[in-house]
Amino acid sequence: MTQRGRKMDEAPPKRVDARTERWREHRRKVRDEFVDAAFRALDKFGPEVSMGDIAKEAGAAKPKLYRHFEHKTDLYNAIVDRIRDMLWERIISSIDLTHDSARELVRRGAAEYVLVVTEHPNVFRFMLHGHFTQQADDSERALQSARQSAKRAADLFAGLVDDKSVEVASIELVNYSVFGAVASATDWWLGANRVEANAMPIEKFVAYLAEIISALVEANARLNGIVIEADLPLHLAFSTA
């Protein structure tokens, strides 16, 4: 049987509460504004910034900040997610996955990453040293975010490569290893430049990261019997030995 074009045994369509949707959108907007303020406060006060500093930078009382973020770790997680999305968008918008060589993709990715680090060095210091986190599980958030990005990049890469012998899990592992190596190198670079101005110039650090990333990718390829022709476009650069 049907009733006004709908079968009787079908579940009625779920009604969308306009007020709930407006509140959800408002909450998302306010949270984004607080994350913006957190970036400004970190740039201004450094990685030891307090929740009060962030609320003041946002022009709000601290109780309002806590209404939108359950605790300090909730805000920390939002900052990590913002950086992850920022990096992904910047890197994807700067490369041509169809025509750029594998070598050029790595170099451009490293260059965009370092550019973001130089724009917000205190945000990266804040993330790398787990400020605001109080439990071991909370301090893993940056690694969880890296794992998500690794899986995202692995799926994207697997879609470009025709060779069915390339395993997504293996790509994910090497990407995750790359994130760990890059984070450690960034921690050193930011710390070294605090002690000595220009301990390693930006151009040299980009080149260093590109070499580290390439070495990890090539090592993983050898273990899987894959040959990389780094001067070819990505979808043509990989073949079985």
Structural domains present in the chain: 1-69 (1.10.10), 73-240 (1.10.357.10)
Instruction: Please count the helices (runs of H) and the strands (runs of E) in the chain.
Output: 9, 4
Q: Is 74 helix (H, G, I), strand (E, B) or coil?
A: helix
Tens place of pLDDT per residue across the chain (241 aa)? 555 555 555 555 556 577 777 778 888 999 999 999 999 999 999 999 999 999 999 999 999 999 999 888 889 989 988 998 899 899 889 989 889 999 999 999 999 999 999 999 999 999 888 766 554 454 455 556 656 665 666 566 556 555 555 566 777 788 778 888 998 999 999 987 776 766 789 999 999 999 999 999 888 888 878 888 999 998 788 777 6
Tell me which long-range contacts 26-30 makes (C-beta under 8 A, separation of at least 24).
27/68, 30/68
Its sign, for the CA torsion 94, 96, 97, 99, is: negative
CB neighbour class for 174 (10 Å; exposed up to 12, middle 13-18, buried from 19):
buried
Beta strands 2-3; 6-7: pairing state: antiparallel
What span, in angstroms and rounded, lies between the C-alpha atoms of 122 and 24?
Answer: 30
Provide the residue type at 127 as one letter: M
